[in-house]
Each structure stands twice: as structure tokens, then as C-alpha cells.
Amino acid sequence: MLKSTGYRRDEFLKLDYGQLLAPSHRSLRNEILEKLRQTGYFGPLEQEVIDCNGAAYPAIIHCMLIRDSSERKLLWVLMEDISERKKIERMKNQFVSTVSHELRTPLTSITGAIGLLAGGAAGTLPPKAQDMMAIAERNARQLATLINDLLDIEKLVAGKLDTNLKRQPLQPLLEQAVTINQSYGAQHEITIDLAPDIPEAEVFVDGQRLLQALNNLISNAIKFSPDNGRVHLSARQQVSEGKPTITIAIQDSGEGVPEAFRDQIFQRFAQADSSDTRSQGGTGLGLAITRELVAVMGGAVGFESLPGQGATFWISLPTANNPTP
């Protein structure tokens, strides 16, 4: 604290609370004192702190009311300088902006041109050239997907992703998700099937965003299932905290989620650190995006897994007659 503010210890102890805070934050004093009176604790709170030269820097502040040996009330304050963290965040935002404007636009043109050539727009290509174009098209589309994932997660975290929530029947959305992923499943010799007893229910969702979440889970299930394996989609109605919900389950036939990886599986850029999972590729953003998308639609996401018996990822959503505001 002394190092970040630049004060000597004797100077710091003479300061008033208000002298350390930017003017825009001083009005929080009463709120902080009231919270301390009620609970004995306040924070974490991000505020601007004024150093000895009058310059402001961002900090995270925690306060706790304590008593010394003579029962005198004291205030224990932890103040963390987050200037470097903010600097990194700005660099990250600039990077994302560069990805959006400098990479995505030309990549779209490249992908389109490759698709036209592969489709014979410039004449029939020799067999070897066709194979090379197919590889180029596949990799270009994969790169576009990775870039879109990066942009989507940033928009979700910032609360800037557009959504259009409306009442929709569930079964057509699940059928569409299965259809979309059939070709990818066929590449890996994986069968994707939909349970015959899907409830005749409606959900209050953004259809495209729900499909995006389902595609992330289904493609993961395909990647981590063995050849000639199976991915099974099902849905059931239930009541959660007194409210009717629909739970969609995607079950794979893989080895399951490693025990050491379970706590971080929905974190951004998280990937199980083993050769088996690393070889599957990806940014580690798919599950994080799925969690954020489902949260925007008022739902929850989770998984169940036993070693060697695959994993079942689920999405729980409020029914349409009980949408979350």
C-alpha cells in the first residue's frame, strides 16, 4: 500500500479516508460504513486511489471491522493496485479489435474464394488440386470459427452480445442441432441420435444462440467419443425451485472428464492437459461460450461424468410459460 501510494508510513497514518479516494468515489463512504455496521465486512470494490502526487490509479479494496485486545474497534483494509491488470485488459481489448477488423474481413473473402474454386467456379480442378483446395477450405473455415469464438466470448463477458429471446418449440431446435452435426459426426464415424420421447414443450430462447450452445456440446461429444461411438440427445421436463424447466442432455461415449479438470472445465481457454484432449484442437472457448449463452437465456449448464463411462453435458432452461426476465 505504501509503495503504490508513495507515502511514508507516518504520512499515510495521518491521512483521512477521503484523501485516498478520487472525488467520484467519496460518496460511497456512508454506504461502506453502513455495510461494515451490518456485516462487519465490505468489498471487494474497485475504486480509484490518489497517490502522494495526486495521480489516480485503480485498486480493489476490501474492508473488515476488527477489535484489538482492548475491544477497541479497528478497520482492517486491504488495497490491491490493479494498474497492471487494467493495462493487460486494454491490450487484450485492442487485440480483439484487431482480430475483428484486420483478420475476420479478409479471412471471409479468402474462405469465399476458396469455396468458389473448390466448387469449380474457375473450371474443373485436377484431383490433387481438388484435395488441396478441400484442405484449405476446411482449415479456413476452422480458423473463422476460432475467430468468431474469440469475439463472441468477449461480447458475452462485456454484455454486448445481441440476443432475440422468444417462445419456440423445443423439438425442432434439437432436430436441427442433430442435422447440423451429422456430417461432422460421419467424419469421425460417430452416430448422433435424438431420443424419441422429446417433451412437447416450448422454451423462451434465442433459437440461433441455443443452437450455437448445442453445437458446442455436440461437437465436443463427437471429438471425445471413439470411432463408431454414439452421441445421444434427450430432454426431460422437471421442476427446479418450484419452477418448470426443460433439461437437454448430450451424452457421449468417451472416457469421461478427467477428475483434475472438472473444476475449470467451463473457464475460458481451459483444456485438459493431456495428449488425448490436446490432440482434439480448439481454443478451449466452446464450453465457456455455452455457459455464457445459456446464462443470457436464463438457464444453467453442467455435466455428469464417471471415469471410462463418458460424460453427459446438460442445459437447463425455463419453459416458455415461465421465462426468466
Q: Is the dihedral of CA 121, 126, 132, 138 positive or negative?
A: positive
pLDDT-derived band at 230, boundaries 50, 70, 90: very high
Q: Is residue 198 within 8 Å of residue 175, measured between CB atoms?
A: no
Is 80 exceeded by the pLDDT of residue 59?
yes
More confident residue, 223 or 95: 223
In whole angstroms, what is the distance from residue 48 CA to residue 199 CA?
Answer: 52
Give 13-50 as a DSSP string: HT--HHHHB-GGGGGGHHHHHHHHHHHSEEEEEEEEEE
The mean-pLDDT minimum among 48-52, 190-194, 294-298 falls in 48-52
CATH match for 166-318 among 2.30.60.10, 3.40.1710.10, 3.30.565.10, 3.40.980.10: 3.30.565.10
Among 260, 288, 255, smallest CA distance to 273 is for: 260
322's CB contacts (< 8 A; 6+ apart) are 243, 244, 245
In whole angstroms, what is the distance from residue 231 CA to residue 249 CA?
Answer: 10
Q: Tell me, what's the pLDDT at 275?
A: 43
Q: Tell me, what's the pLDDT at 145?
A: 76
How many other CB atoms are there within 10 angstroms of residue 81's CB atom?
A: 17
In whole angstroms, what is the distance from residue 157 CA to residue 92 CA?
Answer: 13
- pTM for this entry: 0.63
**C-alpha cell belonging to residue 225:** 467419443
Please compute the mean of the pLDDT values over residues 227-233 and round it to a whole number. 92
Same-fold call for 2-81 versus 166-318: no
Cα 33 to its chain centre, rounded Å, is 35
Is 50 exceeded by the pLDDT of residue 144?
yes
Q: Over the range 242-251, which residues count as b (16 or more CB within 10 Å of their CB) and which as e? A: eeebbbbbbb
pLDDT tens sequence across 268-318: 655 554 444 434 555 567 888 899 899 999 999 999 988 778 899 999 999
**Amino acid letter at 313?**
F
Q: Of 29-38, 54-63, 119-128, 171-180, which has the strongest mean pLDDT?
A: 171-180
Domain residue ranges of the chain, discontinuous segments joined by +: 2-81, 88-158, 166-318
Q: Is residue 285 within 8 Å of residue 150, measured between CB atoms?
A: yes
pLDDT-derived band at 236, boundaries 50, 70, 90: very high
Among 187, 220, 230, smallest CA distance to 290 is for: 220
Please give the sequence-ordered ranges of beta strands (E in DSSP) within the chain, or none if there are none.
Answer: 41-50, 56-67, 73-81, 166-169, 191-194, 202-205, 230-240, 243-251, 300-305, 311-318
In whole angstroms, what is the distance from residue 291 CA to residue 21 CA?
Answer: 36
**C-alpha cell belonging to residue 189:** 464415424
More confident residue, 252 or 47: 252
- CATH dotted code for 2-81: 3.30.450.20
Q: Tell me, what's the pLDDT at 273?
A: 47
**C-alpha cell belonging to residue 2:** 505504501
How many other CB atoms are there within 10 angstroms of residue 217's CB atom?
A: 27
How many other CB atoms are there within 10 angstroms of residue 95's CB atom?
A: 12
pLDDT tens sequence across 145-162: 778 777 777 777 777 778
**Amino acid letter at 13?**
L
**Amino acid letter at 142?**
Q
Q: Tell me, what's the pLDDT at 146?
A: 76
pLDDT-derived band at 47, boundaries 50, 70, 90: confident
